[in-house]
Amino acid sequence: MFTGKREEKLMFRTRFTEQFGTEHPIVCGGMTGLGTAQLISAVANAGALGFLTALTQPSPEALVEEIRRTRDLTDKPFGVNLTILPTIDPVPYDEYRAAIIEAGIAVVETAGSSPEPHLPDFHGAGVKVIHKATSVRHALSAERKGVDAISIDGFECAGHPGEDDVPGLILIPAAVRALSVPVIASGGIATGEGLAAALALGADAVNMGTRFMATNEAPIHPNVKAQIVANTERDTVVVFRQFKNSARVAKNSISERVAEIGGRPGATFADVAALASGVRGRAKVLDQGEMEDGMWWAGQTQGLIHEVDAVDKVVRKIIADAERAVGRVSSLVDRRVAAQ
């Protein structure tokens, strides 16, 4: 006779979990420098969907090797992020796309420019495509082009929130109303209460970046994780506004200086390029933990993150807290029978 304790398994079933084969409606989207096997395999093993970042790898061949490393660490679903941006040095996007397909990846997250040139090959190989958008109009355009889901990025997010400054509480339900494909709420999510709220607004899943940075498995310096915990929701800066390329980063002496220089009349990107270098941010901050030596991405959710923990514990806590939040809201409903 079984006498041991049974652990209750909490799960939310949505269009996202059904279509993408995950246990939980939680995504760790592509993050430059962080979307590697170490973190993404942990996200997959926790029942969420994580994305290796293709362009973190120096070549398509290196990406194939990182996919292999990830498969050595998990047998759960994971995907690859392909961010499409104009660059000084041309990126062999066709070769990265071919490497993703040949490696048998089943889901790709695209961001930046239109995914349209890549859709025929991806869909021809049976690859589902999730596209990140920062506005309903861009999301609708991507849906018309044939993407399988939209990750809608609110103004609270780390990275590039677009130029419309629409927060998630408005953007999520607006996107849900306009779109027919599954919607992933991105930006401003770091807790179970946030997951419950996003589902209540009609989203099919949530995407988290900053929350997964503050985990044991995130391949960044412990100083960065400690800074995220110490920071509040006010400790971010939006830079590059004048260049129509707004980006939310953590507040430090470098990002404040970039914002100040960029705000001067006639300023150009060349005036801040050395300070804003992504290579500098990754090498000095993310790798070496020199917190005042470069810019680094972080969202306003810093104010909701109070500890560094294992990815599995983070996901399990979010699901449990979301279940409690749903129960609490349900208990507030007063079902009175109207007098006849």
DSSP codes of every residue in 269-291: GGGTHHHH-HHHIIIIIIIT--T
**Tokens 């029942």 correspond to what residue?**
47
pLDDT for position 318: 97
Contact assessment for residue 196 and residue 322, using Cβ atoms and an 8 Å cutoff: yes
Q: How many helices (H) and strands (E) does the chain have?
A: 14, 10
The CATH code belonging to domain 21-218+308-320 is: 3.20.20.70
What's the token pair of residue 276? 């804003």
Per-residue confidence in pLDDT tens, the chain, 340 aa: 445 555 566 789 999 999 999 999 999 999 999 999 999 999 999 999 999 999 999 999 999 999 999 999 999 999 999 999 877 778 999 999 999 999 999 999 999 999 999 999 999 999 999 999 999 999 999 999 999 999 999 999 999 989 999 999 999 999 999 999 999 999 999 999 999 999 999 999 999 999 999 999 999 999 999 999 999 999 999 999 888 889 999 999 999 999 999 889 989 999 999 998 888 888 999 999 999 999 999 999 999 999 999 999 999 999 999 999 999 999 998 877 665 5
- End-to-end Cα spacing for the chain: 54
The structural domains of the chain, with segments of one domain joined by +, span: 21-218+308-320, 222-300
Phi (first) and psi of residue 298, to 5 degrees: -165, 145
Closest CA relative to residue 318, chosen from 6, 5, 10: 10
β pairing state of 107-112 and 128-133: parallel
Residue type for position 254: I
Closest CA relative to residue 247, chosen from 256, 239, 257, 255: 239
